[in-house]
Amino acid sequence: MIEMATRAEDLKFRLATVELLRMAKKKYTYKKLQEETNLPVTVLSRYVKGHVLPNSERAREIWNVLLRIINLEEEIKRRLKWNDSGFFDNTSIISDVELLNQAANYAIAKFAGKRITKVLTAAVDGIPLATMIAKTLGVNLVIAKPVKEVGVSAFLEETCVLSESGRTMTFFVPRNAIRRQKKIKERYQTEREALEAIRRWKNKGYEAYLTGKDASRGYEVEILRIYDSVLIVDDVIKTGDVQSALVNLVKKAKAEVSGIFALIAVGDSWKKKIKLPKGCHVEVILQL
How many helices and strands in the chain, by DSSP H and E? Answer: 11, 12
**What pLDDT does residue 217 have?**
80
Q: Look at residue 231 and tell me whether its pLDDT is greater than 90.
A: yes
pTM of the model: 0.78
Supply the DSSP symbol for 113: T
Query: Measured on CA atoms in the order 256, 178, 163, 260, is the torsion positive or negative?
Result: positive
Q: Which residue has the higher pLDDT, 79 or 207?
A: 79
pLDDT band at 276 (very low <50, low <70, confident <90, very high): confident
| Gap between the Cα atoms of 108 and 12, Å rounded | 8
Mean pLDDT to the nearest integer, 40-50: 94
| Gap between the Cα atoms of 107 and 86, Å rounded | 28
What percent of the chain stands above pLDDT 90?
59
| Gap between the Cα atoms of 148 and 150, Å rounded | 7
Mean pLDDT to the nearest integer, 224-253: 93
SS3 230: strand
Helix (H) or strand (E) holding 214: strand 207-214
Of 126, 77, 58, 104, the closest CA to residue 266 belongs to 77
Check: CB of residue 155 under 8 Å from CB of residue 178. no
Q: Where are the alpha helices (DSSP H) in 40-184?
A: 41-48, 56-70, 72-79, 91-94, 97-110, 127-137
Supply the DSSP symbol for 145: B
The tens digit of pLDDT for each residue in 181-226 reads: 778 889 898 889 999 999 988 887 788 889 877 777 888 999 887 7
Q: Look at residue 120 and tell me whether its pLDDT is greater than 90.
A: yes
pLDDT band at 1 (very low <50, low <70, confident <90, very high): very low
Structural domains in the chain, CATH included, are 2-70 (no CATH), 93-178+227-287 (3.40.50.2020), 182-225 (no CATH)
Q: Look at residue 33 and tell me whether its pLDDT is greater than 90.
A: yes
> Interhelix angle for 2-27 vs 56-70, to 10°?
40
pLDDT band at 2 (very low <50, low <70, confident <90, very high): very low
Mean pLDDT to the nearest integer, 264-272: 93
Check: CB of residue 259 under 8 Å from CB of residue 230. no
Q: What is the dihedral of CA 104, 110, 113, 117, to 10 degrees?
A: -40
Q: Look at residue 90 and tell me whether its pLDDT is greater than 90.
A: yes
Check: CB of residue 136 under 8 Å from CB of residue 105. yes
Q: Which residue has the higher pLDDT, 225 or 21?
A: 21
Q: Look at residue 5 and tell me whether its pLDDT is greater than 60.
A: no
